[in-house]
Amino acid sequence: MENIGGRAEFITFSLDGSSQLLNPLSWFDAFRSGRAGTSLRGQKG
């Protein structure tokens, strides 16, 4: 953990909160596809 650092650049995936931690099948329904790959830096220009 001591070697992990820096700030986040983009969202890898996002869940809507309806998933259950111990039930991976519920993750697919909770996945928010519109947010995957979204930059956290904002628009340039």
Whole-number pLDDT of residue 44: 65
Kindly indicate the confidence band of residue 43, based on its pLDDT and cuts at 50, 70 and 90.
low
Q: Is residue 30 part of a domain?
A: yes
Burial of residue 19 (number of CB atoms within 10 Å: 0-12, 13-18, 19+):
middle
Its domain, for residue 33, covers: 9-45
- At position 6, the amino acid (one-letter code) is G
On whether residue 3 sits in a domain, the answer given is no
In a domain, 2, yes or no: no
Residue 5 has pLDDT above 70, yes or no: yes
What pLDDT score was predicted for residue 30? 83
Residue 41's pLDDT band (boundaries 50, 70, 90)? confident
Q: Which two tokens stand for residue 24?
A: 């991976």
pTM, full prediction? 0.43
Domain count, the chain: 1
Q: Which run of H or of E encompasses 28?
A: helix 25-30
